[in-house]
Structure 1
Amino acid sequence: MPDLAYTPIACSMHDRLERWAVRRETVAVVWRDGDAERTAETTVDDVFARDGADWVRLGTGAEVRADRLVTVGGVPVAEAC
């Protein structure tokens, strides 16, 4: 399955992700991985840009493109800034 074009997430969620990363808080993260939905209770270790998209590195070591996040800390990840 080819990668879809990146869709920016809401600026407010991007700000929250950065706060969680700075505070090293453990949060529930749900994201889409192909046809599957993954979940983890983990930290947000980093928020960074790569190849024209925002990415999140989780404490599990997983790197998730931000637009594939479903919820973080119980907060739905809305699209578009």
Structure 2
Amino acid sequence: MSDAPYQPIPCVQHERLEFAALRKQWLDVKVDGVVQRLLPLDVYTRDGAEWLLAKNEAGEELTLRLDRLRF
């Protein structure tokens, strides 16, 4: 799926991620069919796609393409 063209996500979901990053609020997000508890750190654009930098409960930093996430 990472080679597929980026599909923009709805503005409401984008705003939810930005607000969670600002408020340091944990979210339950489905990533490739698996629910993960993530702390959003930043939402940014790179290479024609939007990305989330987040930390999981184990403290690992993850970089995830927004169109691969489900809420």
In the alignment, structure 1 residue 49 sits paired with structure 2 residue 23: no
The SS at the match of 2:22 is helix
Identical columns (%): 36
TM-score, length-scaled by structure 1: 0.74
Gaps of 5+ in 1: 72-81
> In structure 2, do the counterparts of structure 1 residues 39 and 21 end up closer, same or farther at CA, with 3 Å as the change threshold?
same
Moved over 2 A (4+): none
Q: Deviations over 1:13-67 (max 9, x none)?
A: 11111000000101111112xxxx3332121111010101000111131111000
Gaps of 5+ in 2: none
TM-score, length-scaled by structure 2: 0.83
For 2:35, the aligned partner's letter is T
Greater RCO structure (CA 8 Å; 6+ sep): 1
The residue aligned with 1:69 is: 69
The SS at the match of 1:28 is strand
Aligned partners of 2:4 and 2:13: how far apart in 1? 21
